[in-house]
Structure 1
Amino acid sequence: MADPSVFAGPALRRIRRREGLTQAATAARLAISPSYLNLMERNQRPVSARVMMRLIEEFDFDPRSLREDASIGGLDGLARRFADERFADLAIDREEVDELLSAAPQAAAAFARLYDRAREASASASDAIVAARREIERWRNHFGDLDHAAEELSDEMRLSRGDLSVALTERLRERHQFAVRFLPREIMPGMVRRLDLHARQVQLSEMLPPESRTFQLAVQLAQLEQREAIDTIAQGARFDDETARELFIHHLTGYFAAALIMPYGRFLRACDATDYDLPVLQRRFGVSFEQLAHRLTTLQRVGQRGLPFFMARLDRAGQFSKRIVGASGAELIEAEHSCPLWIVHKTFERSGELLVQLVNSQSDGQTTDVWFTVGRTVEGMGTSGAAKFSVVLGLDASLAGSLAQARGVSLRPEDAVPIGPGCRRCHIEGCEQRSLPPIGRRLRFDPVSRGATPFEFGDRGITL
């Protein structure tokens, strides 16, 4: 049987440095060539059983020490931990990490253990949200089988511009023997929909606006008729966490509901015919702005593609509660916080208005992409109507020329507003809106003058 591959580069370097030997001298004691030792030290060759025996005989080496290296992932694993943005101001490079692992392996293992336990302690449901979102992005938020099934059901139900809620109510009654009942808010506190199996009722809150009533009925129909198809897609994701799987299923259920209300072919034709005029599309399909924004991120059918939009939903504090990149490749919604210069924040001052803005997103002070963005406020799903969010749609500016909302708006890159990924990760200089200095930049202080910006900074170094 072949020897299992054992890579022990850091351990070999520790031995050699402890003994004060050159590679040539160490290789001679191990009865191998210096070039072969060099490859083993760089983990490009495994340590054979014969070399392992020589290590034990010549250097009193304990093979169990390799387990510690393996448990932290060796040099790569330790370097990944030190790459955390919390250490960015220290500018620790890979060579220093290598020196730590070689000179003080137990200290390195202790650091790795503390780091991992701190991460585990801070882990929460947000990890499941991230996992579900990554799976959605792996599909580019386009699930062709669900789209085709929704179109077939739409044709079967003869859904058109008529009252969709009536058609959905009839489907629930005739196919599944469920009646639809609207209940007072005090009977359904904090709830928008409930399936009462005993009474055979789909119960909806009276506080829901018409477009939300229709959507909730479509969601209920998706749960009753598409569960097997949705479960099949979810099973292929292989989530480690059950919560992530349930979140993914929740997304797929809503995806089918939206596809039923806005069938792919008819919806895309309407987009093309109206130049993606958002208010017109809302009225034509009887949907909310948020429902429309979701649907616009899904149009990636082979041979019948729409424009690659991204969408996000944020609260007043700039925290993201939804992010769908779709096929856009947008990185500006990957940030932990949004930039206060982005139009999404102004929408709260002009509730219900559709606002547009051309922005260029920046990373490490370098412009990456220019985006045409459209945003407006929406109310949350709560029945009180108190919660408000801003929903934003975005499209690569080079593709936005034909959009109805882009008419009269300059799409030249030089006219775009620079925005960053939150102040701590933003390296744009001269921003008067800045609240915090960027990580990894040295603050500058001038005793004889005061600039217009809260923080002035220079090269990489230690910040406050």
Structure 2
Amino acid sequence: MAEEKLFAGHAVRRIRRAYGLTQGAMADTLAISPSYLNLIERNQRPLTATLLLKLAQSYDFDPRTLTGATPGGGVDAIRRRLSDPMFADLAVDRAQVEEWIAASPDAAEAFARAFDRLSGGSHGGASTAAGGVPIEPEAIASARREIERWRNHFADLDSQAEALADELRLANADLYGAITERLRVKHQLSIRILPFDVMPDRLRRLDLHARQLQLSELLDPASRTFAAALQLGMLEAKTEIDALVAGASFTERAAERLYRRHLSSYFAAAVMMPYARFLRACEATGYDIMLLQRRFGAGFEQIAHRLTTLQRVGQRGLPFFMLRIDKAGQSSKRYAGASASPLVATDRRCPLWHVHNVFARPGTLLPHLVELEDGSRWFTLSRAVHPQTAVSGGVEAEFAICLGLDAKLAVPLATARGMDLKNGVATAIGLGCSACTRPECPQRSAPPTGRVLVFNERERGMSPFTFDQLA
């Protein structure tokens, strides 16, 4: 069997330095030459499964950390940051960036975080807006970085949730009924559905004095099941969740609480959609989201989120990313998963992307084939959703949910049948106007950063801004 290749030189170097070893000493332990280890650390040779096993046997570390995010989001993300006008006089090419990440991964990550906090937020991690006003508070950014470090797949939680789901199915074919009974018998908690006028400002509340999990009548059946599974997870997966939170070593209490909430929600979704059964259903239906909703009694957003988590070793699903945005284009959820998509890395988006069109077409699932400036193609599915929080005369929240993956991998999707994903017509989009250099876009709202504006009073192009094509 061919060995799976993994480029993780920065992580190997970090392990070696943590143990105070020279390349020669570590190479002896791994039974390879120092020159070969040097190539591995510089990401010029892969870390094979055999070497990964030797590393895990020789040093005390979690092998899953080697698949974490590349410092700064990788070479392309660092280069997008370096395209800022403040670096215009520097000729930093791709080779230099690759060497920097390989030699000083922590310094590259530090630069990326500092730039994202102080810049316009359209090049890499996108955590601030113009003027230095945070788009994403540090607590949220910290929690999201930890989620992406695991690629939003937590194997231990998935395994425990899967075993629990099987046990619940044996007790009662109705999952909500089975969870309700388990909470009552094992944890002495009953579930009570309360009218809106009794609990007007909450969807869920745990009343320990009354030993009740109180749920709002506004919640639909899928949301009630999720809320019950969430409570069960907080009780029965507490040890595993505590370990993951402790391993994250957050410096802010808020980040820790946000991460814990994500893990509890992850467990609840894994109970509703057990990994193996859910993946089999995905592959059998061509990832038909509507069918998956009915089969697992879940909402559209719950299915979309679950699709970003299917990264079990030896049993992987397609690498989807997910975005949730409001009508103003602000994102409240974004998970890159294993997709490594630049469409998730920024908080600025192209208005030509159909994710913005779903608000005018409620209930419609919009497929869209898009192409970025680097030539990469992405197949996306977008739909508007309405959380169950509104009553007559109240504000009804509305969000757009977007799922996407590399177009080369979208062939199995039912929604992509009949489309020429490789050579068919794709909409040319960018990563926000300030980062996009397409010259004749009539939708352009701002010129790209780092480009000189060109004025000619005798003519006008398709775009309201004409700029020098050379950076």
* 3-state SS of paired residue (1:410): coil
Which of 338, 347, 359 lines up with 2:358 in the alignment? 347
Residue 286 of structure 2 is matched in structure 1 by 275
Amino acid at match of 1:254: S
1:325 is aligned with what amino acid?
A
**Amino acid of the structure 2 residue aligned with 1:370:** R
Q: How many aligned positions are there?
A: 358
Distance 2:117 2:295 in 1: 52
**1:159-198 Cα deviation digits (max 9, x unpaired):** 6994321111111111111111111112222311000011
> Matched residues in 2 for 1:116 and 1:156: separation?
46
- Give 1:437's aligned residue: 447
Q: Which residue of 2 aligns with 1:132?
A: 143
Cα distance in 1 for residues equivalent to 2:117 and 2:413 = 49
Q: CA RMSD in A?
A: 2.7
Partner in structure 2 of residue 91 of structure 1: 88
Secondary structure of the residue aligned to 1:321 is strand
| Aligned with 1:299 (options 310, 320, 326) | 310
Partner AA of 1:419 in structure 2? I
Counterpart selection for 1:240 from 239, 243, 251: 251
Residues 40-439 of structure 1: pairs in structure 2 closer than 5 A: 88=85, 91-93=88-90, 122=133, 126-158=137-169, 162-362=173-373, 366-367=374-375, 369-380=376-387, 382-384=389-391, 386-413=396-423, 415-439=425-449
Residues 245 and 256, structure 2, Cα contact 8 Å, conserved in 1 = yes
Please give the per-residue CA displacement for 1:220-258, whole angstroms capped at 9, x wherever unaligned.
111111112101011111112221111111111000000
* Residues 158 and 170 (structure 1), Cα distance of their counterparts in 2 relative to 1, 3 Å cut: same
CA apart distance, 1:409: 2.4
Kindly provide the amino acid, as one letter, of the partner of residue 434 in structure 1. R
Report the equivalent of 2:107. Answer: none
Evaluate the alpha carbon distance shift between residue 355 and residue 246 of structure 1 in structure 2; reply closer, same or farther with a 3 A threshold.
same
Structure 2: distance between partners of 1:255 and 1:386 = 26
Secondary structure of the residue that 1:247 maps to in structure 2? helix
Output the CA distance in 1 between the equivalents of 2:295 and 2:88: 55
Calculate percent identity across the aligned residue pairs. 53
Q: Could you tell me how far apart the structure 1 residues matched to 2:466 and 2:136 are?
A: 37
Matched with 1:106 is none
C-alpha contact (below 8 Å) 1:183/1:205 kept by paired residues = yes
Q: Which amino acid aligns with 2:403?
A: L
* Distance change >3 Å, CA 86–CA 122, structure 1 → 2: farther
Q: Does 1:458 align with 2:465?
A: no
| Secondary structure, counterpart of 1:294 in structure 2 | helix
Q: CA contact under 8 A between 1:429 and 1:456: conserved in structure 2?
A: yes
Greater Rg by CA: 1
> Any conservation in 2 of the 1:85–1:439 contact (CA below 8 Å)?
no
Contact 2:171/2:178 (<8 A) preserved: no
Question: Is the CA contact 2:168–2:175 (under 8 Å) kept in the aligned structure 1?
Answer: no
| CA distance, structure 2, for counterparts of residue 151 and residue 346 of structure 1 | 37
**Maintained 8 Å contact 1:332/1:361:** no
Q: Which amino acid aligns with 1:302?
A: V
- Aligned-partner Cα distance in 2 for 1:302–1:117: 35
Q: Deviations over 1:235-293 (max 9, x none)?
A: 11111222111111111100000000000111111111111111101110011111001
AA partner of residue 141 (structure 1): N
Residue 86 to residue 371, structure 1, CA distance change in 2 (3 Å)? closer
Q: Distance in 1 between matches of 2:345 and 2:140?
A: 13
Structure 1, unmatched stretches of 5+, are 1-82, 96-114
> SS at the partner of 1:250?
helix
- Separation (CA, whole Å) in 1 of partners of 2:464 and 2:456: 13
Instruction: Give the CA deviation at 1:87.
Output: 5.9
Does the residue aligned with 1:292 lie in a helix, a strand or coil? helix
| Normalised TM-score (structure 2) | 0.71
Could you say what secondary structure the match of 2:265 adopts? helix
Does the 8 A contact of 1:282 with 1:289 survive in 2? yes
* 2-structure distance, mates of 1:116, 1:402: 36
- Asked whether the equivalents of residues 288 and 415 of structure 2 are also in contact (C-alpha less than 8 Å), the reply is yes
8 Å Cα contact 2:168/2:178 also seen in 1: yes
CA distance in 1, matches of 2:388, 2:436: 33
Report the secondary structure of 2:452's partner residue. strand
Q: Which of 457, 462, 466 lines up with 1:447 in the alignment?
A: 457
Q: Which amino acid counterpart does residue 450 of structure 2 have in structure 1?
A: G
What amino acid does structure 1 have at the position aligned with 2:311?
A: Q
Q: Are the counterparts in 1 of residues 325 and 332 from structure 2 also a CA contact under 8 Å?
A: yes
State the alpha-carbon separation in 2 of the partners of residues 161 and 389 from structure 1: 34
Separation in 1 of the partners of 2:280 and 2:296? Answer: 12
Letter in 2 for 1:275: G
1:87 and 1:264, CA in 2 relative to 1: closer, same or farther beyond 3 A? Answer: closer
Equivalent position SS for 2:345: coil
Partner of 2:56: none
**In 2, Cα distance between equivalents of 1:192 and 1:117:** 34
For 2:423 and 2:356, the matched residues in 1 are separated by: 22
